[in-house]
Amino acid sequence: MNFRVDKGSFLNRYADKELAADAEEECKKSEDSCNADRDTINDPLVIPGECGSCLKPTTKEELLSMVLKCANFAAEKHSNQRRKDAAETPYINHPLGVANILANEGSVYDPIVILAALLHDTVEDTETSFEEIEKEFGETVRKVVAEVTDDKSLPKAERKRLQIENATSRSDRAKLVTLADKIYNLRDIQKSPPLGWSDIRVREYFQWAKKVVDNCRGTNSALENTLDSIFAKQCKETRKNCNCIKRLSPVCDESYLCI
């Protein structure tokens, strides 16, 4: 499945019966990877099958309705939450921003990815269950959200270690959400670090984020180039106090990136 396109809009890309029919035909040609019982799975966006990439024929109106429903769902779930930046901005800005980065910077128009981006923190940070997400938005969206959800019962250090370790094996859809999530968070920290964060803690976050990103590479060149630019900018700002290694990179004049 192509996770990056160079033209078209989110609605035009997938609200097309011919595109969806082509996807179903491709799925039928690959029965080995799409062999689930098509009559037992209820998913509003995907033709049942283990591959999870065969999109149903969907109108622009149906897609718009689903995205708005999802955005409203996320807004209600995060309604009492604030970001950790100095301005304490509404938390909903974050999932909306991640979805926006995917569509408008990464040219990602897969509706499964957009919905998962809007929902990616609901289970982890609110009183939302995976069962609720599946009921409202389907099994395929729920699976992507599950891939990017940390287990809050684990210590923070272990959760961060697992994010690095598990990034490699995530689906492309989950990797896309991860890349856009990191872009939003890193930009936020550069603009307005959370209250009480020292320069060392900021640097450690960037170092950890880069390890996660490196394990998601090969997914979307536009998002990865944006992240390289963010890492290079941060390295230049902290060059005197950080440990750097030489790495050839067109986005860094002196060919260095912080790790």
Q: In sequence order, what DSSP letters do the residues of 78-93 get, joined into one string? A: TTT-B-SSTT--BTTH
Q: What is the CA radius of gyration of the chain?
A: 19
Nearest to 72 by CA among 12, 136, 129, 15: 136
Q: 18 vs 28, 45, 98, CA distance in Å? A: 15, 15, 29
* Bridge partners of residue 258, in order along the sequence: 244
| Token digits of residue 255 | 């060919």
Task: Tell me if residue 172 is catalytic.
Answer: no
Contact (CB, 8 A) for 99 and 116? no
Q: In sequence order, what DSSP letters do the residues of 66-128 get, joined into one string? A: HHHHHHHHHHHHTTT-B-SSTT--BTTHHHHHHHHHHHHTS----HHHHHHHHHTTHHHHSS-
Nearest to 163 by CA among 220, 216, 240, 91: 216
Task: Tell me if residue 127 is catalytic.
Answer: no
The 10 Å Cβ neighbour count of residue 148 is 25
Q: Which listed residue (26, 62, 85, 124) is catalytic?
A: 124
Q: Which listed residue (125, 136, 172, 237) is catalytic?
A: 125
Residues with active-site annotation: 124-125
